[in-house]
Amino acid sequence: APAAPARVVVRAAHLVDVQSGTVRDNPLVVIDGEQITEVRYDGQVPAGAKVIDLGSATLLPGLIDCHVHLTGDPGEIKGDYYEAILKRSAIDSAILSPIYAKRTLDAGFTTVRNLGASDYVDVALRNAINRGDIPGPRMLVSGPPLGATGGHADDTTGFSPWIEFHSVDGVADGVDAIRHRIRENVKNGADVIKFMASAGVLSAETSVGAPQYSQEEMNAIVDEAHRWGKKVAAHAHGAEAIKMAIRAGVDSVEHSSMIDDEGLKLAKQHGTYLDFDVYNDDYILSEYTKKGFPASTIDKERLVGRTQRENFQRAVGAGEKLAFGTDAGVYPHGWNGKQFATMTKWGMTPMQSIQAATVNAADLLGMKDKVGAVATGHYADLVAVGGDPIKDITQLQHVAFVMKGGTVEKNELNR
């Protein structure tokens, strides 16, 4: 990316101040290099600054998605799901992933947490973005997700045992193997550890919610990851698996679909973030049969889709810590912002949904001093929309201006 000019002021009509939960008028965001040095409301432009005037637009902090998979996209699966899997390798995914990174950035998501990729393609993508070789969001990456043999992380399930697969994945059974697998991920560049606490939808197991690790194994994952200074995200749909993961001390539960009252209570007690990918169901039910996924997969989605939304609403009511995570990659990259409307339909205020994707997400990622708010000392990660997102949350599906680290990545408002 080209070097950002020394001092820039971004001016707009409004700013969604996610820290106070209010909308403020006539903001001036002063940026030096890649950082915000001041946010003022007195209309005084500091001397020598270049002004980017976004007119009547509303500014927000760059958005954060805590659960994406930038190394694949459903657009790759044209109707034969097995062909798409069996004829592609890590190199195919590495060639395409920069396109998905750019789509995500253009949609206003300046930071993402990539929760699961084979062969460390996610590490290479993050590194290329960090070097400035290609555009893309800031990325925290997990590398291959840990999971039990035959479980949600084992992509070789359902194939003939005579087929040999050559790919780096996260399959590990038993405490010692798990500790070794985590060390491999850390050694190869993982920022965060992802594991499969329960079965899933888009994998071959018959159950969708059954626990796939013992309590002892989950405890070992969290102990080992935290010792290396890495947070832990647990994929879990089933009520029991969710509670086991929370008791083990994970930092976030992903999907959280069938969480029960005891699970909600435990999450509160432990300060665990819950991520509900509540938009996903619409896309899977409308598209995945056409893509050749087996009927058993669609049936599993029917078991969790609606329940997940109802439980999301209960979690909002219970005042749980909620962060925005979409599982984009299961649905098209760049559509991340569609989930805001689902979240507001199921119990959140527009401001709460925006906070989930900014301050809360930044807190979960351990980056709250750097991203997730338009504030002094933070990266100059800003987005703008033409209308009022508090009145019409679908505005966040049409982000018209994106700045990441002081560099304008997209500007359809002022050319």
> Which residues contact ligand ARG by CB under 6 A?
200-203, 255, 277, 280-281, 284, 301, 304-305, 308, 327, 330
> Dihedral of the CA atoms 283, 284, 290, 294 (nearest 10)?
180
List Cβ neighbours of 374 (8 Å cut-off, separation of 6 or more). Answer: 15, 17, 18, 27, 29, 36, 39, 59, 60, 61, 382
Residue 311 near residue 303, CB atoms below 8 Å: no
List Cβ neighbours of 49 (8 Å cut-off, separation of 6 or more). Answer: 7, 8, 9, 30
List Cβ neighbours of 29 (8 Å cut-off, separation of 6 or more). Answer: 9, 10, 11, 15, 36, 38, 39, 59, 374, 380, 382
Min dist. Cβ of residue 184 to ligand ARG (A): 23
Min dist. Cβ of residue 113 to ligand ARG (A): 14
In the complex with ligand ARG, the residue whose CB is nearer, 243 or 309, is 309
In the complex with ligand ARG, the residue whose CB is nearer, 100 or 401, is 100
In the complex with ligand ARG, the residue whose CB is nearer, 62 or 116, is 116
Min dist. Cβ of residue 156 to ligand ARG (A): 16
Min dist. Cβ of residue 203 to ligand ARG (A): 6
Min dist. Cβ of residue 200 to ligand ARG (A): 3
In the complex with ligand ARG, the residue whose CB is nearer, 110 or 339, is 339
Give residue 367's region: left, alpha or beta (phi > 0; psi -120 to 50).
alpha
Angle at 194 (CA atoms; ends 192, 200), nearest 5 degrees: 160
In the complex with ligand ARG, the residue whose CB is nearer, 31 or 236, is 236
In the complex with ligand ARG, the residue whose CB is nearer, 330 or 371, is 330
In the complex with ligand ARG, the residue whose CB is nearer, 191 or 301, is 301
Q: How many CA atoms lie within 13 A of 196 on its CB side?
A: 29
Min dist. Cβ of residue 297 to ligand ARG (A): 8
Q: Which residues pair with 68 in a beta bridge?
A: 114, 328
Q: How many CA atoms lie within 13 A of 28 on its CB side?
A: 16
List Cβ neighbours of 294 (8 Å cut-off, separation of 6 or more). Answer: none
Q: Which residues pair with 61 in a beta bridge?
A: 382
Min dist. Cβ of residue 301 to ligand ARG (A): 6
Residue 375 near residue 36, CB atoms below 8 Å: yes
Residue facing ligand ARG at closest CB distance: 200
List Cβ neighbours of 402 (8 Å cut-off, separation of 6 or more). Answer: 62, 105, 106, 108, 110, 382, 383, 408, 409, 410, 411
In the complex with ligand ARG, the residue whose CB is nearer, 198 or 407, is 198
Min dist. Cβ of residue 115 to ligand ARG (A): 9
